[in-house]
Amino acid sequence: MVKADFSYNPYLMQTDVNINGLEPKINSPFEKYRNEKLQSWINKVPKALYDEMNGYDFELNFTGTKADFNDLKSVFIKAGITLSPVQKLNGEIIPATMQLVFKKELENVTVKLKQIRELMTWLNEHPNRKFDYKKFMTDFSWVFNEEIAYITIQDTQTRIVNFPELNVSVENINTIQELPDDINNTPIVFL
């Protein structure tokens, strides 16, 4: 069976795809969207893989976060691609169209934030002449202490974004009239 490896790192927004160890064809969607957020083009993945593989008879090994794996799985199911064998009422078993395997999980945001906090604590406790921790914390204190306001614009899939360790407030709006009058200094995040 042909194998494809699909790796997505949401922290770097980088996608890597290999088919039997080889890179996809020139001008493939994987090349075009390599450095884009997966959710912005995830609905194109089934067709892109179909075109690359000349069908769905292959095993797709995914490396990334659990949430991204579940999103990818949902897209294949919505496209009518069976990922596991189905047994009909008469006992006949219809084989899976393709296999989707969660090969390796990347840490989620909570784990990454914990690692950053541990690193910052370690840097504070272990002075280094090449890294001025106090100057760094003075220059970039806003990264760790300020509440950051932003607006999210979501695709068709709605996902609740939760930041338990950050001082972030999330507010859902339904119409443009609910936006604040001045959003000049408010980042807009596309999900």
| Residue with the larger pLDDT of the pair 179 and 5 | 5
Residue 96 has pLDDT above 80, yes or no: no
Q: pLDDT band at residue 188, thresholds of 50, 70 and 90?
A: low
Half-sphere exposure of 45 (CA within 13 A, CB side): 31
Residue 98: what pLDDT? 86
What is the β-pairing status of strands 188-190 and 93-94?
unpaired
Integer Cα distance of 170 and 148 in angstroms: 10
- Give per-residue pLDDT as tens, 114-165: 888 888 889 889 888 888 888 888 887 776 665 555 555 554 444 545 555 5
- Give per-residue pLDDT as tens, 65-78: 888 999 999 999 99
Surface-to-core class of residue 48, CB atoms within 10 Å of its CB (0-12 exposed, 13-18 middle, 19+ buried): middle
Mean pLDDT (whole number) for 96-122: 84
Residue 120: what pLDDT? 85
Q: pLDDT band at residue 182, thresholds of 50, 70 and 90?
A: low
Residue 61: what pLDDT? 94
Residue 115: what pLDDT? 85
Q: Which residue has the tokens 């339904």?
A: 174
